[in-house]
Structure 1
Amino acid sequence: MKQLISLALLICILTGSLTAAEKKNVPEKKSQSRPATEPGKHPNIVIFLADDQGWGDLSHNGNTNLHTPNVDSLAT
């Protein structure tokens, strides 16, 4: 049983080594697409993570019980 485990481990190590060696020899492809923004400028990305907030929970979407002016200003 120990020999079988040792053999399986040896096969895994050799396979990983060969795969890593093959990847080193592959030339990198250069992207031909242009950058999304001009050099020196960063895109404006805002991510909101809210728990249990539905579509109608913002005043921008018609909710009259809650007032969310800061979030509404981002929506316009």
Structure 2
Amino acid sequence: MHRPPPGEYVTFSTADEPCQAFIPAALPPQPPLAWTPALRRRFDDALVALGRLDAITALLPNATLLLYSFVRKEAVL
């Protein structure tokens, strides 16, 4: 059985540093996601964390430097 690749790598740059990111292929719509109370709670927690990160980056003089440090840290891990 032949399966399509699970995604693709794209090249981009941040803070003038070339990087690669894996972009996964779209998930199939079936079976639909079962939103249990525990999953909904985790999803809501993730949205709150993203909101906090967005608020913090608005206060930074150069948010690109923060992003660059996270990209480098992820590459090391």
Q: Same fold (TM over 0.5)?
A: no
Structure with the bigger percentage of strand: 2
If the length of structure 1 is used for normalisation, what is the TM-score?
0.35
Normalised TM-score (structure 2): 0.34
